[in-house]
Structure 1
Amino acid sequence: MEGKEEDVKLGANKYSERQPLGTAAQTDKDYKEPPPAPLFEPGELSSWSFYRAGIAEFMATFLFLYITILTVMGVSNSTNKCATVGIQGIAWAFGGMIFALVYCTAGISGGHINPAVTFGLLLARKLSLTRALFYIVMQCLGAICGAGVVKGFLHKNHLYETLGGGANYVHHGYTKGDGLGAEIIGTFVLVYTVFSATDAKRSARDSHVPILAPLPIGFAVFLVHLATIPITGTGINPARSLGAAIIYNKDLAWDDQWIFWVGPFIGAALAAVYHQIVIRAIPFKARA
């Protein structure tokens, strides 16, 4: 028992909190803050890795829309939800695909698969504006193609149009303010998880705690979908909402489209500010 108590004391005091209030926490690990990405980096445009990353984002978003919209269509087409995967299955499809696709593409493009994630990382100076804009364009194109393939499967018997095309909209019984709030908070949860799961300083400090970054990110997507599918169908990804809206192309999808851009971008910005200023205390690091 005495040995165990010593281990507990050692663990509790291994990383001291003796830094002045308002400064970033220091650790016993060798760690240097990576420099912020330049706002413009013209040299990227001549690099194959830049275009390869964009292609990876396109393909990942394409596969994401293909699997998730098909799952939504399958649930919507059933008169008995108990005979399908239901809302829980839809949430698992979105979260599971994010887990798999982030795992596959993180080493190439960072595995964003979401303009809101890209925007949040841009605000935190994790990538250049050049790369961010390229990613967002490729993500939107991938989403449009993914939703288009789903429509090709279901178009002959008009199921795609009848079932709403998997488009996001504010559901009956909720106001546009409700939908906007749900999108802001849902995206905050997602982007905050992305920052926490990919924080290099945390990896250096907590190297004794193994973590597979795509897992908490996918799980965050799963949980947000469980909470907000009844409100908006859950967007938290402007590319997903835009792709479905363009292919479905009905007033139902376009009336609330602004919510699925404004909400995620606000949520991503709040998550970036919270993580960088409050959690990481980046602006205060130079203080004595």
Structure 2
Amino acid sequence: MNKNTPPTTGTERHRTHPCIRRFLSWSKSQSIMAAFKGIWTKKFWRAVSGEYLSTVIFVLLSLGSTINWAAEEEKPPPANVVLIALCFGLSIATMVQCFGHISGGHINPAVTVAMVVTRKLSLAKALFYVLAQCLGAITGAGILYLVTPAAVRGSLGVTMVNSKITLGHALLIELLITFELVFTIFATCDSKRADLGGSASLAIGFAVAIGHLFAIPYTGASMNPARSFGPAMVTLSFENHWLYWLGPILGGVFAAALYEYLYCPDPEVKKRLKQVFKKDPSGRYKEVEPEEPVIKPGSIHHIDLEKAEKKDPFQESSAEVLSSV
């Protein structure tokens, strides 16, 4: 052994042992299997297909409002911002009302990512949701492309940044309007609230319409990466397309995190955290070791061997979020 080589500790020797490596590899594969264990069910694929179909209808109807049928005239009128905003808002409200009980009615990768961040949706399910949303957007934009005359087709509703603003400002605009949308979704669908009334889907539709009324002149008001991806893929127009993914996803994550962890935290989560972490005299939080159960003399302690054998701590710890499909 080289004199400069530091001595190997017992922990390092165990880590490099072939048996330990095989065990860690096995536990990792078990965690991955647990993460995707729920995808082979009818309920799962019904939800994924619901996201696909709802996105097809939403993109088809909404992008249809951007078609300027007077484009062949000598002086075509400008786009009707109110018409477009209302069509997008009412379309999303209708789809959420129709598919909310089937898939949750995300119809938006930014919403799906926000649900993952707040542990309301598994990562495995989110991956299939985003794929279904993108494919649905391509299908909807493709149908519109086929049924619309080439003379009035224009840009097919591709979102574009206004040349008078910078890309940084455009990114901020997309972040803010998606923040407003996702915050509305979490606030109107909060099961902890007892003061909710009216229609949650209509409130979400109004949030989409407000965002479009404000941001169409700036960025085209995407608020939804799939909505931008569909027409961009059909027309092969990807100028500044990254902006319409980064901005909405950041806005959605910020809105979800602020609502769930700052403004309206779940009291049960807070209670569990207090049980795990306690403040020491110096003011720092330290993890508390779980107390051993006290067995009184003469009492009978029952152990369910079947449950003990089925319980796999590696699956529960590493795949807690992933396996809830």
Q: For 2:102, what is the secondary structure of its paired residue?
A: coil
Amino acid at match of 2:145: K
Partners of 1:43 and 1:267 lie apart in 2 by 31
Aligned to 2:4: none
Aligned to 1:240: 227
Residues 193, 75 of structure 1: CA spacing in aligned structure 2 closer, same or farther, 3 A cutoff?
Answer: farther
1:167 to 158, 161, 171: 158
Q: For 2:66, what is the secondary structure of its paired residue?
A: helix
Aligned to 1:17: none
Amino acid at match of 1:150: L
In terms of Rg, which structure is larger?
2
Q: For 1:165, what is the secondary structure of its paired residue?
A: coil
Partners of 1:43 and 1:70 lie apart in 2 by 39
Aligned to 1:134: 128
CA contact (8 A) 2:65 2:84 kept: yes
Overall identity of the aligned pairs, in %: 36
Q: For 2:101, what is the secondary structure of its paired residue?
A: coil
Matched, 1:51 2:45: yes
Matched, 1:269 2:253: yes
Aligned to 1:224: 211
1:234-266 deviation line (CA, Å, top 9, x unaligned): 11100000001001113xxx1210000000110
Partners of 2:57 and 2:51 lie apart in 1 by 10
After TM superposition, the score normalised by the length of structure 2 is 0.69
Partners of 2:43 and 2:65 lie apart in 1 by 33
Partners of 1:125 and 1:75 lie apart in 2 by 45
Comparing 146-155 and 40-49, the one that deviates more: 40-49
Aligned to 1:201: 192
Matched, 1:124 2:108: no
1:80 to 77, 81, 88: 77
Partners of 2:197 and 2:178 lie apart in 1 by 25
Matched, 1:181 2:178: no
1:260 to 231, 244, 247: 244
Partners of 1:224 and 1:76 lie apart in 2 by 26
In the TM superposition, residue 41 of structure 1 has moved relative to its aligned partner by 3.7
After TM superposition, the score normalised by the length of structure 1 is 0.78
Higher normalized helix content (fraction of residues): 1
CA contact (8 A) 2:89 2:208 kept: yes
Amino acid at match of 2:186: F
Residues 220, 125 of structure 1: CA spacing in aligned structure 2 closer, same or farther, 3 A cutoff?
Answer: same
Residues 42, 270 of structure 1: CA spacing in aligned structure 2 closer, same or farther, 3 A cutoff?
Answer: same
CA contact (8 A) 2:117 2:253 kept: yes
Q: For 1:44, what is the secondary structure of its paired residue?
A: coil
Q: CA RMSD in A?
A: 2.0
In the TM superposition, residue 215 of structure 1 has moved relative to its aligned partner by 1.1
Residues 273, 280 of structure 1: CA spacing in aligned structure 2 closer, same or farther, 3 A cutoff?
Answer: same
Matched, 1:98 2:92: yes
In the TM superposition, residue 287 of structure 1 has moved relative to its aligned partner by 4.3
